[in-house]
């Protein structure tokens, strides 16, 4: 499991396009609390993850499934793919 911290990846840029992710949650007619519950976390933890841009890699995989993301990279690496820096 890899912890994706925005400070460690791509020179401090966030790895999650939070606005786009929140928009997708709304498109699916879900609340952040519902998504948090499906991820097995509290609403407060979900709010913190969205604020900081820090998610575990398995959480990103689950989000892609929960929100039926066809192109997860558009949501999770908005400025291009993550390199092995």
Whether the CB-CB separation of 42 and 31 falls below 8 Å is answered with no
pTM of the model: 0.73
Q: What is the DSSP string of 25-44?
A: HHHTT--HHHHHHHHTS-HH
Terminal-residue alpha carbon distance, the chain: 17
Share of the chain above pLDDT 70, in %: 73
Q: 3-74: CATH homologous superfamily?
A: lambda repressor-like DNA-binding domains (1.10.260.40)
Whether the CB-CB separation of 76 and 16 falls below 8 Å is answered with yes
More confident residue, 19 or 82: 19
pLDDT, position 47: 95
pLDDT, position 72: 84
Q: What is the mean pLDDT of the chain?
A: 79
Over residues 38-64, the mean pLDDT reads: 91
DSSP letter (8 states) at residue 9: S
Per-residue pLDDT at 81 exceeds 60: no
């Amino acid at each position: 499991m890899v912890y994706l911290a925005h400070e460690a990846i791509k020179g401090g840029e966030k790895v999650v396009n939070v606005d786009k992710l929140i928009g997708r949650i709304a498109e699916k007619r879900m609340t952040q609390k519902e998504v948090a519950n499906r991820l097995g976390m509290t609403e407060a933890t979900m709010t913190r993850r969205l604020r900081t841009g820090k998610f575990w890699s398995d959480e990103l995989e689950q989000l892609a499934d929960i929100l039926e993301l066809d192109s997860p990279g558009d949501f999770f690496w908005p400025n291009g793919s993550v390199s092995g820096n």
